[in-house]
Chain A
Amino acid sequence: MRKILITVFALFATAAHAGPKIEHWVAPSGARVYFVETRVLPILDLSVDFAAGTVFGPADKTGVAGLTRALLDAGAGNLDEERISAKLVDIGARMSGSADADRAGMSLRTLSSKPERDAALELLRAVLSAPTFPESVLTREKARTIASIREADTRPDSIAAKRFAAAIYPNHAYGASATVESVERIGRDDLVAFHRDNYAARRAVVSIIGDVSRAEAEAIAQRLTEALPAGKPDVVIPPIAKPVRAAVKIAHPASQSHIHIGAPAIARTDPDYYALLLGNYVLGGGGFVSRLMQEVREKRGYAYSVYSYFAPRKLEGPFEIGLQTKREQAGEAIKVVEDVLAKFLVEGPTAKELAAAKKNLVDGLALRIDSNAKILGYLSAIGFYGLPLTYLDDFPAKINAVTTANVKAAFARHVKQENLVTVIVAAD
């Protein structure tokens, strides 16, 4: 009872700051650690992310980053995959993984009571440091991956997503997707090598939030990363070449055309981030109130879903507009989208739109950090992309400082008509 009251008061006392108190240090292993202590719930969330995304794999074996990540818990130390999953289930812990172009890693949610917590952390330590990549599991998972690639290659949405990435990132790992052939070429040695080279402590960010003290968090971070491989020297990811404006049409029997329009646009640490975030809210990021939603859906009934987004990465991540519409009206719908974008690039948002966007992004920040799971995502991004520890605290001021001129200038720098690629699947 007393514990609750103290926590509640503590929350109110810190309410003047936008974000939670983030502690940061470098573990003796070399891993960077980001930590928020919060004792309200008896849980612990953590993630360990590595610079081990698809860009770090060999070009002719696309899929090696994903398979390495997926097989981390397929055997570790003296445990096989069945023992690992059974042990996790027996203590009520959840382990999951993710891999994208830049990073790959594992996250863990466990009860914070000591026996469960310790057991869960030992499992995570084992899968990160001592994966065994059994040949038999690799054979099975390669077969499953190939089956799902073949299945995905019949689906208009995945065909569109893959072709769009390939078209805006020609000859770059950011545009590559695993194929049947690239997966068939992958052997156990490739996984062992990819893990040895990339799952190193100095390439790792450990994010921790929950019911542990700073001292406990320090011990946890070190224990999780002390036995990781040494890794290889950093490789430089080749720069992005902007594509030339083009339209790609792909036949498919679907009733709707799947349309993507975009180009490589922005790196996560680019100072234009805030101006683009605000501008995109007005253009197509702000749900029902965005211009694209108004013109395409609300006024014309052309689509259920129409959106735009920037997905910043280490290097220039994509800007993309997407929609699906009845194939007979795809041409008209694309025309509307192009008109909305062209007008926005020339005029930028109105003063009223900009003010509304600021209100949503600033006042909505509290909702984006109202759970441990959500804050964990920010810790990981702050650590991986090297954002300031005060990122969440600074967010309102950074957003409020943006002007219409800033938005227009930022779009002019990052979204150029001459680079926009249009991909249409199920085109007539």
Chain B
Amino acid sequence: MTQPISALALIAAIVAVSPAPTFANPFETRLANGLRVIVKEDRRAPSAVHMVWYRAGAMDEKDGTSGVAHVLEHMMFKGTKKHVSGEFNKIVAEAGGRDNAFTSLDYTAYFQIVPNRALPRMMELEADRMSNLRLTAKEFEQEIKVVMEERRMRTEDNPQSLVHEALYAAAFKAHPYRRPIIGWMDDLEHMSYTDARDWYRAWYTPGNAYVVVVGDVDHQAVFDLAAKTYGRIKSHALPERKPRNEPAQAGIKRVTVKAPARLPYLTMAWKVPRLNDVDTDREPYALEVLATVLDGHDAARFSKNLVRGQKIAQSAGAGYDGTLRGEALFLFDGQPAEGKTVAELEAALRAELKRVQDEGVSPEELARVKTQTIASQVYKRDSMMAQAMEIGGLEAAGHKWRDIDKLLEKIRGVTAEEVQAVARKYFNDDTLTVAVLEPLPLDQAKPKKSAVATRH
């Protein structure tokens, strides 16, 4: 039996062979209008990733217009004063590139992956739609149907999505994370183009955005281009952001969703802290290590003990994301193995948690977390998009890309005692929400007819 290689030996090995750029890479500048531009030079291949992130997502919406952040994301491809609807996609495609966008609870982001010589054109186009979008009732009426089809596909006909939607809606009553990103169907049915236009006017401004470029580019050239394109746009003030903090939960919440399926599905969510201060916080890092010990890799406890060992779960997962603007949850989910019940699975998940609370985690498990963290960072450098996402995601939560290395250091510094302490402190039933899928046999489910359209 060979000795596991220590994380320290690994770090030494990587430092020795790694051509980690020693210059000040990435580079950042701030234009006069408040737009920040972050460039990471990666010269391995003649490609470039260009992303624009707006710090406006589903959490900034109001009741009655849930989903508008995502609807606007769709409308951003519908033309500007200069370019007709669809032209954006056409130009990207002819450059050999691909483009898309995504909306989250916290932000909305747009990206193009192109041969590096096409980057100037992409910046021109993206700057154009930052302030010149032409949002018409006609285009909106067409596109809102597409969004409703998207909701049917992702949520209405997907039992596990319905459970997640129910989980968040139950866990939060005041905090905006209770609303689904794609929006409630009824809100989509009653949305008008003016809702989308108001959203655009309120949030799409250089001061609320940042640009991330990763690729075979010269950062100074990108800064100059940014000044010539994005730099021309005037910034305006943002609407007031109310905190909308969730009141303390005082008692377990349980919800059930019935939908056509065979296997039941269980989700459990506890309220836990998010990462606020990269330097002084300790608990968020301990929570992240806890999630990795339970479900971060093939040898982690849930797979090993619940799926393979006790054979009580068809699948079992744990997750924690503390890098966000809103309130954080620590999630468990899983499907019981055939012949087992949801109650048995819940008991087994709780038993795993109790074992950490009572016995803590082993030095071997902590070493694995560290090894995984280091290896992931090295592997991430094989993908420009992964690097751009890492920078953009951290900035979206209000942190700095400069903290990427520090975050990893902090994870590596977590002790067994800290993991045990957060397991004891945060996982009591008073802040727990449980959502369960109760499978409905196919022949007992009525065909889901769509509501008669009330739009005109």
Contact = CB atoms under 8 A, between A and B. Distances in A.
Q: Do A and B bind each other?
A: yes
Interface of A: 1, 3-4, 7-8, 11, 15, 40-43, 81-82, 85-94, 109, 111-113, 115-116, 119, 140, 143-144, 146-148, 150-151, 153-154, 156, 211, 252-256, 286-289, 294, 297-305, 324-328, 356, 359-367, 369-373, 426, 428
Given A8-B43, A147-B263, A360-B96, A41 B371 contact: no
Contacts of A372: 382
Most chain-B Cβ atoms within 10 A of its Cβ — which of A41, A153, A294?
A: A41
Closest 8 CB pairs of A and B: A363-B96, A301-B145, A92-B375, A370-B45, A364-B96, A255-B448, A113-B13, A304-B150
Interface stretch (B86-94, B119-127, B165-173, B223-231): B86-94
5 contacts: A111-B10, A143-B337, A151-B263, A363-B95, A371-B45
A326 B46 contact: no
A92 B86 contact: no
Contact of A113 (B14, B446, B450): B14
B45 A369 contact: yes
A125 B183 CA distance: 50
Given A42-B18, A144-B337, A369-B45, A253 B450 contact: no
Nearest to A7: B19
B127 to A, nearest CB: 20
B406 interface: no
Nearest to A81: B308
Interface string B79-107: 00000011001100111111000000000
B344 interface: no
A356 B143 contact: no
Nearest to A360: B93
A85 to B, nearest CB: 4
B419 to A, nearest CB: 17
A296 to B, nearest CB: 10
A19 to B, nearest CB: 11
A364 B261 contact: no
B152 interface: yes
Contacts of B98: 287, 364, 367
Interface-centre pick from A90, A150, A361 (highest chain B CB count, 10 A) = A90
A358 to B, nearest CB: 10
B22 interface: yes
A41 B308 contact: no
B261 A426 contact: no
Contacts of A287: 89, 93, 98
A326 B450 contact: yes
A202 B90 CA distance: 46
Contact of B2 (A119, A146, A365): A119
B174 interface: no
B2 A253 contact: no
Contacts of B367: 90
B262 interface: yes
Nearest to A301: B145
Contact of B450 (A255, A289, A294): A255
B243 interface: no
Contacts of A147: 262-263, 314, 335, 337-338
A88 B375 CA distance: 12
Contact of B142 (A89, A153, A301, A366): A301
A238 to B, nearest CB: 33
A303 B445 CA distance: 24
Given A367-B114, A372-B382, A300 B5 contact: no
Contacts of A82: 299, 304, 308
Contacts of A305: 153
A85 B299 CA distance: 5
Nearest to B88: A288
Contact of B149 (A156, A253, A325, A428): A325
Contacts of B372: 89, 92
B297 A89 contact: yes
B379 A148 contact: no
A15 B311 CA distance: 53
A363 B46 CA distance: 11
A117 to B, nearest CB: 10
Interface of B: 2, 4-5, 9-10, 13-14, 16-19, 21-22, 43-47, 77, 85-86, 89-90, 93-98, 113-115, 141-150, 152-153, 156-157, 260-263, 297-299, 303-304, 307-308, 311, 314, 335, 337-338, 367-368, 371-372, 374-375, 378-379, 381-384, 439, 442, 445-450
Contacts of B113: 367
A367 B447 contact: no
B436 to A, nearest CB: 16
Contacts of A326: 148-149, 152, 450
Given A15-B46, A366-B47, A304 B153 contact: yes
Contacts of B9: 115
B179 to A, nearest CB: 20
A295 B311 CA distance: 49
Given A366-B115, A373-B383, A303 B149 contact: yes
B219 to A, nearest CB: 16
Contacts of B2: 87, 119
Contacts of B5: 90-91, 115-116, 119
Contacts of A119: 2, 5
Given A113-B17, A143-B338, A156-B157, A301 B146 contact: yes
A109 B379 CA distance: 8
B17 A328 contact: no
B447 A85 contact: no
A372 B384 CA distance: 12
A252 B152 contact: no
B140 to A, nearest CB: 10
B115 A363 contact: yes
Contact of B17 (A112, A115, A362, A363): A112
B152 to A, nearest CB: 5
A395 B13 CA distance: 39
A119 B381 CA distance: 22
B142 A356 contact: no
B215 to A, nearest CB: 9
Contact of A255 (B16, B93, B152, B311): B152
B382 A364 contact: no
Contacts of B297: 85, 89
A356 B94 contact: yes
Contacts of A367: 47, 96-98, 113-115
A40 B13 contact: no
Given A11-B43, A154-B442, 16 more contacts: A11-B44, A89-B299, A92-B10, A113-B10, A116-B10, A116-B13, A154-B260, A255-B152, A255-B450, A289-B89, A289-B93, A298-B86, A301-B149, A326-B149, A327-B449, A360-B93
A286 B9 CA distance: 47
A307 to B, nearest CB: 13
A88 B299 CA distance: 9
Given A299-B142, A366-B46, A359 B94 contact: yes
